[in-house]
Every structure is written in structure tokens, then in C-alpha cells.
Amino acid sequence: MAHIPTATVSRLVTYLRILTDLEEADVKRTSSDLLAEEAQVSAFQVRKDLAYFGRFGTRGAGYSVPTLRRELRRILGLTRPWNVAIMGMGRLGQALADYPNFDQYDFILKASFDSDPAKVGRHIGGVDVYAVEELDARVAERNIDIAFLTVPASAAQEAADRLAAAGVRGILNFAPTVITVPEGSFVEPVDFVAGLKRLAYYLQGPGERAKVGS
């Protein structure tokens, strides 16, 4: 299969969300025009993204909502549950553990880890907190696929290395630093502070915006 651009994968996730909304509203058929409008891309882009994976629609008749939704779930690897752990049970880790809806998306929280002995042994947001020394054993025992990395930035690379060595191949990195992982593993950064900074850039008035070269 051709190399799939990261932006295409992101848009497939958006199309799936739109299709899920359509299915919940009992809509049976849709079109690349409608998907494009909802996803704020062009219809050409929708057709191009889907064409990487085969033919799904019928010219003139559009797409069957349940069929395309099922196909996108299969393409995105969402037809099976994924086991998740949290690395770093501070403020953010605990808030994520408290979030009740991950399993609705088939992401199942199985364990959490922290280097602070005061947190180890506690049960927070429905999940046990283990010592980092137990990582290898617990990851193997609970088949952990994905970790939320919620340690301070200064500890993030080392924690990511430990996760990768234990066999965790997906990391959702909340620490504001770039981390590297071995081949075959994947990192997705989540940075809401970066989002705030982008907003600040757009919200400032024209007079406040620094001129190029000033």
C-alpha cells in the first residue's frame, strides 16, 4: 500500500466522527460533498483520502454511512480494544484517570505508574498505581499497548525509553518536550499550551503583531 500521509490519517479520524454522528441521526447515505463540508476540506480531498484504501462509494449514489463507517473503523484499527496505562499520576494523570469515557472508544485503562512512593499502592480514578519498577511485569500481564505520558518534561524521555523497553508501542505525550522512540513505536504529542500560544498569535491586534524584521 502507498505511504499514507499523517494528515490523511487525521482526516480519516474526522470522517469517522462525522459518520458516527450521521449514523446516530439515522442517516443512511452520504456524499463526499457532505463529508467535505463537515470536515472543512474539499470533496476532492475526501475522495483522495479514501482512494488510498480502495473504492467505497458509487458514482452518483455516494456512500453507505454504515459501510463506510465500518470500513474506516477497520482501516484505523478501531475494531479491537486497546489497553492503556498512565505514566505519571500527578494532576494531569489523575484527571485523565478520572475521565469516564475512554472505554466508550474501546481504549481501556488498565494500570498506572508513578515514581513517587506516596502514590504507589493507591487506587485513583478506578485504576491501581504501581511503582515504575513494576512496569515490565504489569505491561506484559495487562497487554498494555498505549501509554499516556504525563510526567514532567525533564523525565519524559527516560520514561518513554522505559515504556518502549517494556513493549508499549504507542505514546500519547502530554509533556511539553519532543521525545524519540524506537522504530516500530509511535508518539502523538498533545500540547494545549501550544494551542493557547497559537490563539494568542491570532487574537492580538494588527498593531500588536510584530513586524517581520522588527
Residues of the shown chain interacting with ligand NAD in the complex, contacts defined by CB under 6 A: 87-93, 113-116, 119, 132, 150-153, 155, 158-159, 174-176, 190-193
Query: Which is closer to ligand NAD, CB of 63 or CB of 130?
Result: 130
CB of 164 to ligand NAD, least distance (A): 14
Enumerate residues 6+ apart whose C-beta is below 8 A from 31. Answer: 43, 57, 62, 63
β-partners of residue 30 are 63
Query: Which is closer to ligand NAD, CB of 63 or CB of 174?
Result: 174
| Closest residue to ligand NAD using C-beta atoms | 90
Residue 14 C-alpha cell reads as 474526522
CB of 129 to ligand NAD, least distance (A): 9
Residue 96 C-alpha cell reads as 485523565
Q: Which of 71, 21, 34 is nearest to 51 (CA)?
A: 71
Residue 149 C-alpha cell reads as 505520558
Query: Which is closer to ligand NAD, CB of 31 or CB of 157?
Result: 157
Query: Which is closer to ligand NAD, CB of 108 or CB of 155?
Result: 155
CB of 159 to ligand NAD, least distance (A): 5
**Cα distances (angstroms) measured from residue 144 to each of 87, 109, 136, 174, 206:** 12, 9, 10, 18, 49
CB of 193 to ligand NAD, least distance (A): 6
